[in-house]
Amino acid sequence: MDKQIQELEKLLGKKVETNEPLAKYTTFKIGGAAKYFFIAKNNEDLVRAITFAKKLKISTYILAGCSNVLVADSGFDGLVILNQAKDVIISAKGAAPAGGQGSASGGKKGNKVVADAGVWLMDLVNKTIDQGLVGLENLGGIPGSVGGAIRGNAGAYGSEIADHLIGVEVMRGSKQFVLNKDKCGFKYRDSIFKRNNDLIISAEFELAKGDKTKAQATVKEILQKRKDNLPLESPSAGCIFQNVLINTDNMDAVKNLRNLPPEYLEKKKVPAAWLIELLDLKGKTIGQAQISNKHANFIINLGGATANQVLQLISYVKMKVRDELGIQLMEEVEYVGF
């Protein structure tokens, strides 16, 4: 056992695994081993692990829902923290974020929900609906955690997680504080958390009282749509590419697309799946990685795909769309260990 892990375990007072295969945790079922691996059962574990890793100059990466990531075949040369802090607090008058680090609402009245970053998004949707609170139901079925969803401003069916967010409790350096929503830089599938080193600890939402039965029916309908339209039976990381926002830089290229549905121009957004399908790339396979025949924005693992094969397929798609359609695709999936 090397000195780094001995010191880390001593500081944490808990076991740290070594050379832990990450493929068994990711929804893609792809990825090499983490040099060090630690499961944070609560926010105290999470903060302490990050703090001590910094002290020992060990690089870190946090997993929770383990979706939307592609882990390198060589793994991660540092500490991977699996965040299993899953407290949800629902209060009509606001509450301290799970983990007791202060309130993102400052005590404002309303239907407040505070969730740890490690909470599964689907669990948050179900728990809020059970309490008669609505607003998150369109996010039903999105794989992953609250923290990951905030980082990428996850959304579906016209909703984004930022829509009902009040604030995010973060650790920046050695300081912990609440970052108000307007300071988070939310854009389409984007936030400042993609570009800084803030640790997302918990988040607070304000929801509305609503019809519980109607909300449950909405979630049921969305889950059925996802089952019908997405290749959920195969390992994947979810959507690989962001949809294309129409702007002055790509307007001419978009207008030249054949058979472009008028609603895309109206919504100023072209689905990445439509562009990939336009080039007849469904079913394209490299090794055991394949563009899904069911949904063109999914790359699926046929059983033995490597990260390198997925990366080659991503590069191939980007090249074809750029060279033949004049449009640059941007990845939604996060790269770990590359």
**Domain residue ranges in the chain:** 3-83, 88-215, 231-336
pLDDT at 1: 58
pLDDT along the chain (338 residues), means of 10: 87 95 97 98 97 96 94 98 96 46 45 96 96 94 94 92 97 95 95 94 96 96 96 97 96 94 95 98 98 98 98 98 97 96
Which residues, listed in sequence order, are joined to residue 205 by a DSSP beta bridge?
Answer: 113, 165
Is 114 in a helix, a strand, or coil?
strand
Which ranges of 164-270 does DSSP label H, i.e. alpha helix?
Answer: 212-229, 251-255, 262-267
Task: Specify the CATH number of the domain 88-215.
Answer: 3.30.465.10
Best CATH choice for the domain 3-83 from the list 3.40.140.10, 3.30.70.260, 2.40.50.140, 3.30.43.10: 3.30.43.10
pLDDT at 2: 85
Measured between its terminal Cα atoms, the distance across the chain in Å is 25
Q: Record the tokens describing residue 162, joined without a space.
A: 């930022």
Q: Are 32 and 22 in contact (CB under 8 A)?
A: yes
Q: Are 135 and 164 in contact (CB under 8 A)?
A: yes
Q: How many CB atoms lie within 10 A of CB 173?
A: 10
- Per CATH, domain 231-336 is 3.10.129.10: no
Return d(Cα 152, Cα 13) in angstroms, integer. Answer: 33
Please provide residue 110's backbone torsions phi and psi, each rounded to the nearest 5 degrees. 150, 180
User: What letter does residue 331 receive in the DSSP assignment?
Assistant: B
